[in-house]
A and B are shown apart, each in its own frame.
Chain A
Amino acid sequence: MTMDTALWLLVLLPAVVGAVLPLVPGRDRVAAPVSLATSALTTVLAVVVAFGRPAVGVAFLAGSRFALGVDALSAMIVPTVALVTLLVLVFSAADIKRSQGRFHGLMLLFSAAALVTATAGTLPTLLVAWEVMGATSYALIGFWWRDQDRVSAGLTAFLTTRTADLGLYVAAAAALAGGAGLALADLPAAQPAWRQVIAAGVLVAALGKAAQLPFSFWLSGAMKGPSPVSALLHSAAMVAMGGYLLLRAQPLLAATSWAGPAAAWVGALTALLLGVVALAQRDLKQLLAASTSAQLGFVVLGAGVGTVSGGAAHLVAHAATKAALFLAAGAWLSALGTKQLAGLPGVARRWRALGIFATVAALSLAGLVPLSLWATKDAVLAGALEASPWLYAVGLAAAALSAAYAGKVLVVIWRGVPGTGPGEAEGHLDEEEPGTRHVGLLEQLPVGILAAAAAVLGLLTLPSVVARSGVSAASPVHPGPVELVVSAVLALLVLLLVWRRYVPEPRWALDWLGLERGVRAVVVRPTLALAEGLARFDDRVLDRAVTGTASAVRGAAGGLSRFDDRVLDRAVIGAAGGVQRTAADAGAFDDRLVDAGVEGLAGQVRRLGRLARRPQTGLLHQYYLQAIAVLAVGVIVLVVVR
């Protein structure tokens, strides 16, 4: 098998199996084994292409190809996506008990789209995968479709991310107009004016998918989906792909004067503000979701300041960390029927292995030395420090917040929310779904593997590894020892503080800064009102104008018909009467005068006839005389008339 075939198979295998699986009879029985086998094979292929680095393509739309390729950056992301998919599907095999055919099919379809995104070489290829990710995410968030609120959350997620996706449509058009073609690598070479448009379009699309400000709110609703969905889509793949796109497009951002700093500041502010939001949450999945936005903020920051290798390492390490935490939250939700922090006191003690795995992941999230996110975050912040000390300060504050909300989780799962008794925890049990009070091996194993990865992936930031991976073309900035120590001490201090004092829960951040309410008030409601208004206009004005014209024509026709009956017709009848009278008169005239005249004329003609017989003597000389006389008269007449 050649490398090219491997790359095609990598995306086609999950796509085809995922599309067919929900349709075959007996799907729910075979779904889990088939999807696990597919996903395992995909993971192998992902590792193969990560080393082989193939590039393939076929003709697609005019002016661009459907092109896939694996370079240094993709070689990091592709195996991550494939492996997390596999682990999440292993977990799902135990966790999702109904409609497995549909679930596994959609998950595979999603992973295919994520893999195409991570290898796309042209804008159309990227856009195809990008929007299919959005659609499968809609179907997965609203997976339990009998609950309207879950479907609504999917709709919000889809519409919000699609709004941002429009940026890619604009970028594609600008790339066409800019003359450089639609290949991602060629975009920085577009004409300067169009280059700005392309950069803006790509930036908006990426911020939407990565749940950055001001789009973050959709991720909150997305937590209504099944936990494995959050573990894959909202940690390792879809949201992460937003960050990935900016890392991929970093040369484009750098080719404009403003896009890099804009991305950096949006990322830093998201890391900060969504960190506060995470701190305020009382629902474990909501906390993790807000933290995802915040952590992706570091990736976006990395892309903005040009630290591609640091951003990519943070992306991968966060994927492992957060997937582990989401799966743990899902296991507890299935077992206890709640994801409220107050309902999970000491849950880590109850299922100890799972508790330890989750603890490792949470400590990584907190930035504890030597776990992965400590190192990767500092790799990003080193670039920020070089760009602007303010950016670095905001980033450091956001890092402290990460330690705080991760510490909050740790306090809850080992001890409980301070100030709540066992009675309150009992009250939360089974509030969302009947719990099984059971966590199986298949649910623990994937969390363990992910937690192990979360512990060691900081190695990706070692200078020698970075140099060998080739992710950064230029020699990247590495964090100095001071920065590493500062962030390590900061994380440790915050963790200790939280362990002893718990955390403040700023109420203003509880509903995700009110972003969704704002969008509803400013965009959704006015749009619906406008739609209603236009619909009324269409019925009452436009359509009535047409029917009005038709009625007017009918009225005019009626008028004409009356005119026809009363005037024209009467005129005709009158005229006919007149004609009749005239005819009668004419008849009388005919009898009395004309006929008499004709008779008289006939008598005269008869007499003339008799008279004319007289010259016909039969004598030739007389005929000559008559001819000469006639000629003479003719000549005289001719002469006189002339």
Chain B
Amino acid sequence: MLSLVVFLPLAAAVVLAAVPALGHRVAAWAWVGATALDLALVVAVWAGYRTPAAGRLAYEEQVPWIPGVNSSYHVGIDGLSLPLVALTAVIFLACAVYSLRDDDRPRTRAALFLFLQGVSTGLFVSADLILFFLFFDLSIVGMYFVIAGWGHNNAARSALKFFLYTFLGSLALLVGFIGLYVYADPHTFDMVELAAQLPLNGSPVAGGWVLAAIIVGLAVKTPTVPFHTWLPPAHTDAPATGSAVLAGVLLKMGTYGFVRIAMPLLPQAWRAWAWVMVIVGIVSVLYGALVALAQTDLKRMIAYTSVNHMGYIVMAVGAAGLVGNGPAEARSIAVTGAVTQMVSHGLITGALFLLAGVFHDRAGTYDLGAFGGLAGPAPRLATLFAVGAFASLGLPGLSGFIAEFQVFTGSIAVAPVSAVALVGILVTAALFLRALQRVFTGPEAGHSAGFTDLRPAEAWAVGALLLLSLLIGVLPRPLLDVIEPAARTVAELVGR
């Protein structure tokens, strides 16, 4: 079943790539169809999901792949990956719908995005390090072509920067994976086996180096300060859908790696590094928020808020490693908050980037100063942007609050210094409301005259993402019931 979810988009990608005769409309609708079908499969998976025993996975499939190094095609899901698999399906469907009326080489674009969807889903269901690494690198390749092929301005340079930087990060990751393999006995790349073996518990020095390699690799992808400078240009020059996927799905690969690989496989080293992670998280939160506050380019601003939002996750997973400080419940609440934040940030920032694309499409600029009073000619855009902005600044009733409240209560309870990061939600509030005010209120100015409001496809795509954010904000239990057992397991595993 999981393989079907992974390979359906890949197969659709192959078909779309192989049949050049497809018309624009057909290709665009085929993309929507494939993503909708994939989402339906994910819904079925979710409906049939039962929380697996601690350390096990649901929907497991295992086929020998490279037996020489004990690497297999091993996939499965638990409460950490299921929400992200669902998020991936939702974001890609939104992108497909959003692109319905975009006639820039729709067939190849659809094929490329379907390929990206397949590898992204594959990464989240991987239970083997080599498989994980393969999907990790393929996602970088796919995104490179998206930015370079469909971007604007300095797209080629930004795409190259993105590729080289994150590819370099992935090499550090590979070094770490090989370290795990070498120390394992018997040698294996299988995550489930490694989590049971804990090959590096008891060798603090080697464990520290292996974890360092893995953390650097994941920190580049997440990204955390100071490895984040590839993010703003990549976002600014990427097409709207590319940015949505990059922020919504690809960034999660970094943070997912922390809870899936770094914490359960290297618990002793993680505990030793926990304070570093907390501090890096706090710095990312404050730095990302403040730099975002100073931006005048809408997309750069949203990009830096991603650094801020990912900072909350890093802070929380760091706090989860502070075993012995505060109640154990707080550590698992922090992890729950972190995973919820991954989903929430994907939905909200995905929506905001799709909306940002509308500015470029209509006016050719992301400059906040180039608009004024836009709520007049574009009330739908104004409404959805306001909802997205309030969601992003963590307003209760929307998903961001559910995530950040748990991140904060969990982190502060074990590491009171995390309270400093609360300033982050204040600065994000200031920057989003300032942007909202500059662009949408006051007298009509700049490019606002004659601005076409959201078209139905755009409104549906963004509206659906924000509606999900609202649902999670108001009724968080269905999501939290999936995440909480897994988060508790991670918090326990880190304590070993």
Q: Residues on A close to B: CB < 8 A?
A: 58-63, 124, 127-132, 135, 138, 142, 145-148, 151-152, 155, 158-159, 162-163, 166, 169-170, 172-174, 176-177, 179, 527-528, 530-532, 534-535, 538, 542-543, 546-547, 550
Contact = CB atoms under 8 A, between A and B. Distances in A.
Given A135-B395, A173-B419, A531-B293, A163 B409 contact: no
Contact of B409 (A135, A142, A169, A179): A169
Contacts of B440: 145
A243 B161 CA distance: 54
A177 B229 contact: no
Interface residues of A, dominant DSSP:
helix
Contacts of A535: 290-291, 294-295
Contacts of B164: 550
B290 A151 contact: no
B413 A176 contact: yes
A59 B164 CA distance: 46
Nearest to B419: A170
Q: How many residues of B sit at the interface, in one of the four size bands?
A: 35 or more
Given A159-B430, A542-B229, A177 B165 contact: no
A465 B104 CA distance: 74
B329 A176 contact: yes
Contacts, number: 141
B484 interface: yes
A372 to B, nearest CB: 34
Interface stretch (B247-255, B310-318, B396-404): B396-404
B291 A146 contact: no
Contact of B429 (A127, A152, A158, A550): A158
B307 to A, nearest CB: 10
Contacts of A61: 333, 402, 405-406, 476, 480
A530 B327 CA distance: 36
A538 B229 contact: yes
Given A127-B396, A128-B397, A62 B333 contact: yes
A177 B397 contact: no
Contacts of B293: 527-528, 531
A130 B477 CA distance: 21
A60 to B, nearest CB: 7
B141 to A, nearest CB: 19
A144 B294 CA distance: 27
Given A142-B441, A170-B412, A534-B287, A132 B427 contact: no
A316 B396 CA distance: 27
14 contacts: A61-B476, A62-B480, A128-B396, A142-B441, A145-B441, A148-B442, A159-B426, A162-B425, A169-B412, A176-B413, A177-B413, A531-B291, A531-B294, A546-B229
A124 B427 CA distance: 22
Given A61-B402, A62-B484, A176-B410, 11 more contacts: A58-B477, A61-B333, A61-B406, A62-B332, A131-B395, A148-B437, A173-B409, A173-B412, A527-B427, A535-B291, A538-B229
A536 to B, nearest CB: 8
Contacts of A58: 477
B433 A159 contact: yes
Contacts of B287: 534, 538
A547 B164 CA distance: 11
Interface of B: 161, 164-165, 226, 229-230, 287, 290-291, 293-295, 326-327, 329-330, 332-333, 336, 373, 375-376, 390, 395-397, 401-402, 405-406, 408-414, 419, 422-423, 425-427, 429-430, 433-434, 437, 440-443, 476-477, 480, 484
Contacts of B422: 166, 169-170
Contact of A176 (B229, B409, B427, B441): B409
A528 B295 CA distance: 11
B173 to A, nearest CB: 18
A141 B410 CA distance: 34
A534 B288 CA distance: 9
A162 B426 contact: yes
A17 to B, nearest CB: 15
B424 to A, nearest CB: 10
Considering residues B373, B426, B433, B484, which has the most beta carbons from chain A within 10 angstroms of its beta carbon?
A: B433
Contact of A543 (B229, B376, B425, B443): B229
A146 B409 CA distance: 39
A63 B332 CA distance: 11
Given A62-B329, A151-B437, A534-B291, A132 B397 contact: yes
A170 B229 CA distance: 32
Contacts of A131: 395-396, 401
B440 to A, nearest CB: 7
Given A155-B437, A169-B422, A534-B294, A176 B336 contact: no
A222 to B, nearest CB: 15
A530 B326 contact: no
B419 A146 contact: no
B405 A172 contact: yes
A132 B396 CA distance: 6
A381 to B, nearest CB: 36
Contacts of A158: 429, 433
Contact of A128 (B401, B423, B425, B429): B401
